Amino acid sequence: MSPLREALAGYLAIRRSLGYKLARAEKLLSQLITYLETAGAATVTTEHALAWATLPRGDARWHADRLTVARRFAIYLQAIDPATEVPPAGLIPSRPCRATPYLYSDIDIAALISAADGLRFPLRAATYQALISLLAVTGLRVGEAIRLNGADLDFARGVLTVRASKFGKTRLVPLHPTAVAGLRGYLRLRGQLHPHPGSPAVFISPAGTRLLYCNVHATFRQLARQAGLHPRSASCRPRIHDLRHSFAVRSLLDAYAAGQDGQARLTLLSTYLGHADPASTYWYLSAAPELLALAGQRLEDHLREQP
């Protein structure tokens, strides 16, 4: 193993001990080291890091993200090798552009599930129908759902365990009885179509392996097109992660409709979604005009009651 790859292993071990997963960073930094080795460079330099970051075709934001990954590694590496150069911050200017949530209606979700019925293999169709359904009714992150193992399902209590999620946290997620029934049905069908999978994963491919994150996203884009879901703007496109946004918004709308304290429900929702800070959940308030209107109406009613 080369000194650079040894340094990368140490860098990843330290940051992962702090709760970072770094799956993408590991892949990108391995590519950076391959680039440096090909160029005959013994360490990271600003020139090489910039050339590598801008090498693939893409927009400025993607290039800036790649350079940021290289820069963080270079900061660590400089403590080991003083010859390492740390690329200056902001070397590739880019403006952050947060995607506008694509909020799915019940009809949209039904269309996605119906589109999944047309996938090539019966097990693949059943898997994506069950996966989309679970994401829609729990707000799980996609990565959390595809990491679920059979041992994480407690049907007797109607609870699933999400392990080692963001920042290494584990949480319990209560399920509605209909969600429990849906998962039971999927597992029965899965057992008939593939009795001996090679993975303990709940959601498996036709080969019996755990679903891959990139393949799930690609398949969802295909299903969205087949379901007739089109972008609403340049920053508002159908994404599988927006099933989580839609769940959060619907939960808050239901709370307001039931006359409940939205602030109290928001705190509970933050815990249910696995947010480290309730401030992360507040962003959902701006995702739907209906929520802003209800919040404004509550404020107006409160002010009207004041002397």
Condensed to tens digits (0 to 9), the pLDDT of residues 177-196 reads 999 999 999 999 999 999 99
Q: Which residues are catalytic?
A: 141, 166, 241, 244, 275, 284
Whether the model pTM is above 0.75 = no
Q: Is the pLDDT of residue 292 over 90?
A: no
Stretch 278-299: mean pLDDT: 60
The domain spanning residue 163 has which CATH number?
Answer: 1.10.443.10
Gap between the Cα atoms of 267 and 278, Å rounded: 6
Contacts of 221 (CB under 8 A, 6+ apart): 238
pLDDT tens sequence across 191-233:
999 999 999 999 999 999 999 999 999 999 999 999 999 998 8
Residue type, 246: S
Q: What is the mean pLDDT of residues 240-260?
A: 84
Has residue 92 been placed in a domain?
A: no
pLDDT score of 305: 66
What is the total residue count of the chain? 307
Judgement on whether residues 110 and 218 belong to the same structural domain of the protein:
yes
Domain that holds residue 166: 106-226
Within this chain, do residues 112 and 210 fall inside the same structural domain, yes or no? Answer: yes
User: Which of 12-26, 30-44, 45-59 ranks highest by mean pLDDT?
Assistant: 30-44
Name, in order, each residue with C-beta under 8 angstroms of 73's C-beta and a sequence gap of 6 or more.
8, 11, 25, 29, 32, 44
- pLDDT for residue 301: 56
For residues 259 and 195, state if they share a domain: no
Judged on CB neighbours under 10 Å (0-12, 13-18, 19+), 230 is: exposed
Counted domains in the chain: 3
**288 and 200 in one domain?**
no
